[in-house]
Chain A
Amino acid sequence: MTLLEITIITMIRIAIIISVLLLTVSYLVYFERKISAWTQNRIGPNRVGWRGALQPFADVGKLLLKEDIIPSASNKSIHTLAPFITLVIAFSTYAVIPIGPNVTLFGYDIPLAVADVNIGILYVLALTSLGVYGITLAGWSSGSKYSLIGGIRSSAQMISYEVSMGFSIAGVVLVAGSLSPITIVESQYGWMWNAVLQPIGFITFAISAFAETNRLPFDLPEAEPELVGGYHTEYSSMKFASFFLAEYANMIIASALIVTLYLGGWQVPYIDKLGLGETLTVLIQIGSFFVKMGAVLFFFIWVRWSIPRFRYDQLMSLGWKVMFPLSLFNVVWVAVLIMLFNI
């Protein structure tokens, strides 16, 4: 392939991923409202479009037209920069996640991920560890005590849970023998999903993912009863919307990571035994990735509307005294499995 062809194909892949992600994010907000209404025996949004299906567009229109207020006590440049940092980091993480096996289109062999990086998992870890900057800087630059406490809480929380997240991923990397997400998915052939091989790692990773995305029961940085809105108290209009969008984009990435690392990615067990055509197989595999991701997303929303928030000291002792030892144990467990059964 020439440089021009590579550039064009990559651009198309980026455009597809970004548009799918944006559409999913806006409808995730709609589904969150619908599911919360369902849990609380309400109706939920039902005015704009068929059963409220056009609600996301109405919301975006409203947020765009609102006045953008910058508090006088704030550090203006950082206050403006913080939402962009959050959004950029949330969207660029998606680059390395494969949504299907390599496909051959018009004579080109195309991997279904924006970038096939051989240190892809480290790239994801690097970006998620940077995600805290957006929130922390937003909290600091607002010049308000609620925002500051929210920002400080989020940095402490994210550092604590990143440790167990990293160790849980170490188990996956040990099994796959590679840091590339595509190889990791390929290693989970048939029923050899990592969730089956290392259930403890799966649970610690899922819980850390909840903490990293600041979702309930871990949404201490924006605990409404104590902190008004936490780190985004002083934000309005589209800047608030970027934090809001980033939260949902992070949720999508967290569930895509859970599916890729532990639930076999696009793998469907025994699909090659059915003797379907190649195109149909690939389509089913891509579909299965999105079905799994949808299930995990539903789980995220379900948990949010079922479980109350932790107290701050409970959060910290859970992170360091329970999750961290468990994730270390998981690494040892995987190493023993590899030694005994040579997987």
Chain B
Amino acid sequence: MILEYILFAILGLVAVVTSVAMITRPSPVMSAIFLVLNFFALAGLYLLLNAQFIAVVQVIVYAGAIMVLFLFVLMLLNTDSEHAILKEKRKLKFIGIFIAVLVFIQIGYIVFYSAPSDSVTKEIAESINAGKIETIGTELYTTYVLPFLASGFLLLGATIGAIVLAMKKFE
């Protein structure tokens, strides 16, 4: 148990530090690198919660695919330092801070005051099984098969849309 708390503290600290570093770096590429580190810390936190599948998928999909594409675009554009939007429009800064505080209060309320849903139990054996890939697979292809297939078709539609838009530019 003690080991778990130590790991949680380290991973949580890394997650917080990297996310702050990510929004404060002037260079977009450095921000992207810190975001990747943040994904790793999150993956570690998922592992601590026995959600192995989500942890690995977090790394494969977000760190391995999406962020590589982001880095790819950032490097192609080669933007050395970000446009100083916030210095030009000071009002935006205050609106941003206001929204951030609002979201923080919401999350705090949910964590401390709301009741957990009925499906969340404190049974350790069940919670270990819930994170296993077998459980997730069975649930996806039985209980949630319609939403699963529907999101698949949505993604396919989006891909075809992107290709059509790109084709227009070349013709």
In the bound complex, residues from chain A placing their C-beta under 8 Å from that of B75 are: 136, 139-140, 148, 151-152
Across chains A and B, the number of contacting residue pairs, with CB separation under 8 Å, is: 64
Q: Is the CB of B29 within 8 A of A132?
A: no
Bound Cα distance A156, B76 (Å): 12
Q: Is the CB of B72 within 8 A of A137?
A: no
Nearest residue (CB) in B for A125 is B60
Q: Is the CB of A126 within 8 A of B71?
A: no
Q: Is the CB of B69 within 8 A of A159?
A: yes
Binding site secondary structure of chain A: helix
Q: Is the CB of B64 within 8 A of A129?
A: yes
In the bound complex, residues from chain B placing their C-beta under 8 Å from that of A136 are: 68, 71-72, 75
Q: Is the CB of A130 within 8 A of B71?
A: no
Bound Cα distance A132, B78 (Å): 18
When each residue 108-151 of chain A gets 1 if its CB lies under 8 Å from chain B and 0 otherwise, what string results?
A: 00000000001100110110011011001101100000001001
Q: Is A179 interfacial (CB-CB < 8 Å)?
A: yes
Q: Is the CB of A123 within 8 A of B68?
A: no
Q: Is the CB of B59 within 8 A of A140?
A: no
In the bound complex, residues from chain A placing their C-beta under 8 Å from that of B57 are: 122
Known: A78-B33, A136-B71, A152-B75. A159 touches B59 (CB 8 A): no
Q: State which size class the interface on B falls in.
A: 20 to 34
Number of interface residues of A (CB under 8 A): 24
Binding site secondary structure of chain B: helix
In the bound complex, residues from chain A placing their C-beta under 8 Å from that of B72 are: 136, 152, 155-156, 159
Known: A123-B56, A137-B33. A155 touches B68 (CB 8 A): yes
A257 → B minimal CB distance (Å): 16
Q: Is A162 interfacial (CB-CB < 8 Å)?
A: yes
Q: Is the CB of B64 within 8 A of A126?
A: yes
Q: Is B45 interfacial (CB-CB < 8 Å)?
A: no
Q: Is the CB of A133 within 8 A of B36?
A: yes
Bound Cα distance A125, B56 (Å): 9
When each residue 82-105 of chain A gets 1 if its CB lies under 8 Å from chain B and 0 otherwise, what string results?
A: 000000000000000000000000
B129 → A minimal CB distance (Å): 12
Q: 30 A-B pairs, CB-CB below 8 angstroms?
A: A119-B56, A122-B56, A122-B133, A125-B60, A125-B64, A126-B56, A126-B60, A126-B63, A129-B60, A129-B64, A129-B65, A130-B59, A130-B64, A132-B64, A133-B68, A136-B68, A136-B72, A136-B75, A137-B33, A140-B75, A148-B78, A151-B75, A152-B75, A152-B76, A155-B69, A155-B71, A158-B68, A162-B64, A162-B65, A179-B133
Q: Which residues on B are within 8 Å of A, measured CB to CB?
A: 29, 33, 36, 52-53, 56-57, 59-60, 63-65, 68-69, 71-72, 75-76, 78, 132-133
Q: Which residues on A are within 8 Å of B, measured CB to CB?
A: 78, 118-119, 122-123, 125-126, 129-130, 132-133, 136-137, 139-140, 148, 151-152, 155-156, 158-159, 162, 179
**What 3 A-B pairs are tightest by C-beta distance, nearest first?**
A129-B64, A126-B59, A122-B56
